[in-house]
């Protein structure tokens, strides 16, 4: 076992076996995505790289075997970092072998000589398999869970079974103690009223907290693939409350959670009866000629599309726009690109392009498995093997409150953004009867991206700076898609980066960027202030004579479950 086998004449056969096996794996992965009937991608491996991988593997395996079941230091992986792993020789050996195999498999993915998309799919598929097969996921191999079972005299196992049955009943893995939270009681509590509704959204107006407000009202368009209250979780981390406290007369779109009655709704419907209608109503209620607007994630894509439709009609009702973790140019979509190709999009179009519903749980599962160790298996181990109840966390409660999407709207979105990137191509898209050109969006724009965002990669967020033509400011925040955005100044956490120059790529921008401690909210507030107009007396009541208060915020649409 101490000697290393030579590569020799078996190299060609070994390469052939590797190539065939991985091609079959790719075919299986493509089949899961609806990618059937296509020729297998071409794979090749450099024999020298394969030899180096084999040599490294045999050497490390030999070392592990020679060490046997002797005590070892904690492994450099948080899944195996507990003392129980290091003091249990069998579990420690199993984990070490797993990590060696994981490194080797990922090395094989990197050694594959193929196109970048195929390599990304190989890498993604391997990462999913590795995350699922980790010894920490199995009670028979998890030393930490075994120790807890002994210490609690089996109570942790009994509690784990109860947790499993409860999660099977609710249809998803619990990430937090959902019984602690209730929308309208201890999340989404900023005071306000619904002043308009149609079949797609309710418009919430929030009560001013200052004697005077800026004359230009502020409209927030959240993503329709999530509930709006990510922007209004608790008073101390509510972006909505922050806007109100800064003197902005704030309105928020609360999207309806679609049911079967909306399964024929299109992207055009969401534009015409979504942001465009909301802008009209806010203007009518306030009497303002222009509003300021914010779009978050898909809400930003909807807002940008709506403004392009209005610009094509010669209308410019928005004085300034803020885009948070938003794609307008879908050139760089990160890991989500592994799912998207012509066959997958055609499959979805056939499945639900005319009528149908994309279930919210399907979307939620997809996003969770982009980070499987943190957002899936971590909770499987804690909830079921250790019998733990995850602590209350408002953000994770929101994350579990999924929403559906109408099939036609979703199918249009897939093809014209992720697959063909038509929104960024002048005149390529026709929405609401208008050919779109994002270059006509020349209002001042504040563009924010999160450094570790796995849904809208930072380079993808930066791409908007090269599409919009007005005066722009780009800011990068620390952390990910949600935690980077929800970062109130009072917490004094994380950092943000600024650079007044906007070169072609984010990498160039970053070279000249300056880091600032704390929250980007203060930078955004300072940028927004001159766009608010003069200060006027705050309104004493909600809505107007035409648009009267319908019900208190947060309204009933946000409470509908998928």
Tokens of 61: 């395996």
Give the closest residue to 388 by CA, choosing from 170, 181, 176, 179.
176
Task: Identify whether the C-beta of residue 496 lies closer than 8 Å to the C-beta of residue 523.
Answer: yes
**Could you give the 3-state DSSP secondary structure of residue 395?**
helix
Q: What is the dihedral of CA 166, 170, 171, 173, to 10 degrees?
A: -60
Say which residue the tokens 């300021």 belong to: 292
8-state DSSP, 264: T
How do 445-450 and 472-477 pair as beta strands?
A: parallel
Catalytic residue among 224, 297, 429, 432: 297
CB-CB neighbours of 115 under 10 Å? 12
**Residue carrying structure tokens 């075994």:** 146
Angle at which helix 143-151 crosses helix 155-170, to 10 degrees, equals: 120
Which among 375, 329, 358, 339 has a CA at the least distance from the CA of 480? 375
What's the rounded Cα separation, in Å, for the pair 360 and 346? 20
DSSP 8-class letter at 477: E
Q: Residue 441: which of 282, 341, 326, 328 has the closest Cα?
A: 328
Residue 429 appears among annotated catalytic residues: no
Q: What is the DSSP string of 345-387?
A: HHHHHHHHSSS-EE-HHHHHHHHHTTSHIIIIIHHHIIIIIS-
Nearest to 473 by CA among 438, 495, 497: 497
Bridge-based pairing of strands 201-206 and 250-255 is: antiparallel
**145 vs 387: CA distance, rounded Å:** 9
Instruction: List Cα–Cα distances, 255 to 137, 275, 411, 455, in angstroms.
Output: 37, 11, 19, 20
| Residue 436 burial (CB count, 10 A) | 26
CB 206 within 8 A of CB 285: no
Q: Catalytic positions, please?
A: 297
């Amino acid at each position: 076992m101490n000697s290393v086998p030579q590569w020799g004449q078996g190299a060609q056969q070994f390469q052939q076996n590797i190539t065939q096996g991985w091609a079959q794996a790719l075919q299986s992965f493509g089949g899961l995505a609806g990618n059937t009937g296509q020729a297998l991608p071409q794979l090749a491996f450099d024999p020298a790289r394969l030899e180096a991988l084999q040599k490294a593997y045999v050497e490390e395996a030999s070392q592990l075997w020679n060490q046997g079941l002797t005590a070892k230091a904690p492994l450099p992986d948080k899944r195996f970092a507990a003392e129980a792993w290091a003091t249990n020789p069998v579990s420690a050996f199993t984990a070490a072998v797993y990590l060696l195999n994981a490194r080797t498999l990922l090395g094989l993915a990197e050694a594959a000589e193929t196109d970048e998309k195929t390599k990304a799919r190989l890498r993604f598929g391997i990462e999913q398999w590795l995350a699922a097969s980790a010894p920490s996921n199995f009670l028979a191999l998890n030393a930490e869970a075994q120790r807890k079972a002994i210490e609690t005299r089996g109570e942790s196992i009994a509690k784990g079974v109860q947790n499993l049955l409860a999660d099977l009943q609710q249809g998803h893995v619990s990430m937090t103690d959902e019984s602690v939270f209730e929308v309208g009681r201890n999340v989404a509590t900023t005071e306000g009223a619904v002043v308009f509704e149609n079949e797609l959204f309710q418009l919430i107006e929030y009560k001013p907290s200052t004697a005077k407000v800026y004359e230009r009202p502020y409209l927030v368009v959240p993503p329709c693939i999530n509930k709006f209250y990510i922007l209004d979780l608790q008073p101390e981390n509510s972006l909505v409350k922050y806007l109100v406290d800064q003197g902005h007369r704030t309105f928020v779109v609360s999207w309806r959670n679609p049911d079967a009655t909306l399964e024929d709704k299109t992207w055009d419907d969401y534009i015409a009866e979504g942001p465009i209608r909301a802008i009209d109503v806010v203007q009518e209620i306030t009497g303002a000629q222009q509003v300021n607007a914010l779009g978050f994630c898909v809400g930003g894509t909807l807002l940008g599309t709506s403004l392009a439709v209005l610009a094509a009609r010669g209308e410019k009702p928005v004085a300034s726009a803020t885009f948070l973790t938003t794609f307008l140019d879908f050139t760089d979509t990160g890991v989500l690109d592994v799912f998207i190709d012509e066959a997958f999009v055609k499959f979805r179009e056939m499945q639900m392009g005319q009528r149908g519903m994309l279930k919210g749980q399907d979307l939620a599962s997809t996003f969770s498995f982009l980070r499987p160790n943190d957002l899936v298996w971590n909770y499987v181990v804690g909830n079921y093997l250790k019998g733990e109840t995850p602590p209350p966390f408002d953000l994770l409660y929101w994350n579990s409150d999924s929403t559906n999407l109408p099939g036609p709207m979703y199918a249009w979105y897939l093809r014209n953004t992720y697959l063909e990137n038509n929104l960024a191509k002048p005149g390529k898209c026709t929405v609401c009867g208008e050919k779109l050109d994002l270059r006509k969006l020349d209002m001042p724009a504040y563009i924010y991206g999160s450094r570790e965002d796995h849904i809208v990669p930072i380079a993808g967020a930066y791409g908007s700076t090269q599409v919009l033509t007005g005066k722009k400011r780009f800011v990068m925040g620390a952390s990910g898609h949600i935690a980077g955005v929800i970062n109130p100044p009072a917490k004094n956490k994380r950092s943000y980066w600024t650079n007044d120059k906007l070169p072609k790529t984010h990498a160039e921008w970053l070279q000249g960027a300056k880091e600032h401690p704390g929250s980007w909210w203060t930078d955004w507030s300072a940028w927004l202030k001159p766009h608010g107009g003069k200060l006027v007396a705050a309104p004493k009541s909600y809505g107007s004579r035409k648009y009267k208060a319908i019900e208190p915020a947060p309204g009933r649409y946000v409470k509908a479950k998928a």
